[in-house]
Amino acid sequence: MTLKPVDRRSVLQMLAAAGSAPFVLKSSVALAETPLTVGVLYSGSKQDYGFNQSHAQAAAALKKQPGIKLVEEERVPETIAAQRSMEGMIRQDGAQLILATSFGYFKPHVLEMAAKYPDVTFAHTGGVWTAGMPENIGTFYAYIFEAQYISGIVAGHMTKSKKLGLVAAKPTPNLLRSINAFAIGARSVDPAIQVQVIFTGDWVLPVREAEATNTLVDQGADVIAAQVDSPKVVIETAEKRGVMSCGYHSSQADVAPNGYLTGAEWNWITPYLVYAGSVRAGKKPEHYLRAGLGDHFVKNSPFGKLVTPEARAAAETARADLIGGTRVIYSGPLKDNKGNVVIPAGTTQSSNDRVLDGINYLVEGIIGQV
């Protein structure tokens, strides 16, 4: 049974009901002041200059809200330790909202703990709630691929060699969605552009990421993008080789002052506030919360100095089209890189189409294998 995914209006309604409105990080709208202890779990280091840090930044912003008390634990492995940490936060620290920020926490850890503590809300990044699971679980994610699409457009304008490179961890659907969107964006500028993907095999492997970046540049790529937990090494290596780069999770512009074009960044504070609001209002958490550029769940990094006015304009237009709904990234006819038609002509799969949760192909124009 599929849930109707959250659409833009619902997000607005939820935030309004919680006493706030969609905004970017620095807004001063206040939530109701009931004290709330929030527990956050990170699978890696909070200062990884990547995925975990993006959550930590949002957590820090959440902490500034009146009445919010934060307990955090980093480097929690996806073993029984995760369950123990969550329990500790609930029993010892009185947490009423748990933010489990890594995929691996969902099965079985969040599921077990949610069943054991039905009065606590568990919000998990990236999991997929289905009927039959405990009602106190919310799963959230963001359409980061919309921001990657924009990055792709910018990269497509800026590339001279017509070849882009992407260093990715593993071919999971979340990553494939982004990789494909990047390629679709670039190829919308020029269908002759190719994107080469190298999979490193794991989320954090600095030496292999550096090797992969070097290989991609050797193969002619002049823009490098990253889909790993901490893109710092990839971006730095690209800068050393004198090629352009696109970032991920947060802005790595200071690491690549010359070549940084733009990047796809999370804005986790928005869903965090939704869940804090629903706990305070005593309501069930949103089971499947996803949104993108329009609802401030994701954003793009400011443009780097090399980005031409033409590229900027194209990016802005695309952004406005996506938010307005006049442009859909995954629209037919779309073929994968083995020649099969994956989206027939005339069909579109909008960002909130659940079929994208199970994506398992690489689009035409991508050199690489799932």
Partner 1 sequence: MSSISGIEPGPSSPPVTAAQLGLALPVLAVLLASAIFAAFVALYGQNPVTVFGLIVQGGFGSSFAWQDTLSRAAPLVLVGLAVAIPAQAGLVIIGGEGALVLGGLAGAVVTLPFAGAHALPMQLLMSLAGALIGGLWFGLAGVLRQYRGLNETISSLLLSYIGIAIFHHLTEGLLRDPASLDKPSTHPIDPSYMLPVMPGVGVHAGLAASLSLAVIAHVVLRYTRWGFALRVVGGSARVAKMMGLAVNRWIIGASVVAGGMAGIAGAIEVAAVQGTANSSLIVGYGYSGILVAFLARHQPLAIVAVALLIGGMQASASLLQRRLGLPDATMLVFQGLIFVCVLVADAIAQQLRETTRR
Partner 2 sequence: MDSTSIGWFSLPLAILGGAIRVSTPFIFVSIGELITEKSGRINLGLEGTLMLGAMAGYAISYLSGSPWLGVLSAGLAGMAFGLLHGLLCSVKRVNDTAIGISLIVLGTGLAFFLGKPLIEPKAPPLPSIGLGFWSTVPQVRAALDVNALFFVGIALAFAVYLFLNRTGWGLMLRTVGDSEDAARALGFPVLRVRIIATMAGGFLAGIGGSFLSLSYPGSWSEGLSSGQGIMAVALVIFARWRSVNALGASLLFGGAGALGPALQGIGVTGYYYLFNAAPYILTLAIMVASTSRAAPFADAPGELKLHR
**Positions that interact with partner 1 (CB under 8 A):** 39, 45, 71-81, 84-85, 87-89, 91-93, 103-104, 106-108, 126, 128, 170, 172-174, 201-202, 357-358
- With contact defined as beta carbons under 8 Å apart, do 258 and 292 qualify? no
Tokens of 48: 């990884």
Beta bridge partners of 253: none
* Contact partner, 80, from partner 2, partner 1, none, Cβ < 5-8 Å per class: partner 1
Q: Does 136 bind partner 2 (CB under 8 A)?
A: no
For β-strands 121-125 and 137-142, DSSP reports them as: parallel
Q: Does 207 bind partner 2 (CB under 8 A)?
A: yes
Work out which of 123, 164, 217, 291 binds partner 2, going by CB under 8 A.
217
Q: Does 201 bind partner 2 (CB under 8 A)?
A: yes
The terminus-to-terminus CA distance of the chain in angstroms comes to: 28
Q: Does 220 bind partner 2 (CB under 8 A)?
A: yes
Shortest Å distance, C-beta 74 to partner 1: 6
Work out which of 219, 331, 350, 352 binds partner 2, going by CB under 8 A.
219
Question: Residue 327 is inside which H or E element, if any?
Answer: none
- Give the integer Cα–Cα distance in Å for 52 and 344: 37
Residues near 46 by beta carbon (within 8 Å), at least 6 away in sequence = 52, 53, 56, 72, 74
- Give the integer Cα–Cα distance in Å for 24 and 259: 27
Shortest Å distance, C-beta 95 to partner 1: 9
Beta bridge partners of 163: 194
* Contact partner, 312, from partner 1, partner 2, none, Cβ < 5-8 Å per class: none
DSSP at 105: G
Q: Does 162 bind partner 2 (CB under 8 A)?
A: yes
- Give the integer Cα–Cα distance in Å for 70 and 53: 16
* Contact partner, 39, from partner 1, partner 2, none, Cβ < 5-8 Å per class: partner 1
Question: For residues 243-282, which are near partner 2 according to CB under 8 A?
Answer: 254-255
Tokens of 105: 């926490």
User: Which of left, alpha, beta for 163 (phi over 0: left; psi -120 to 50: alpha)?
Assistant: beta
Q: Does 216 bind partner 2 (CB under 8 A)?
A: yes
Q: Does 81 bind partner 2 (CB under 8 A)?
A: no
In the complex with partner 2, the residue whose CB is nearer, 64 or 75, is 75
Residues that bind partner 2 (CB under 8 A): 44-45, 47-49, 161-163, 196, 198-201, 204-212, 214-220, 222, 230, 232-233, 236-237, 240-241, 254-255, 367-369
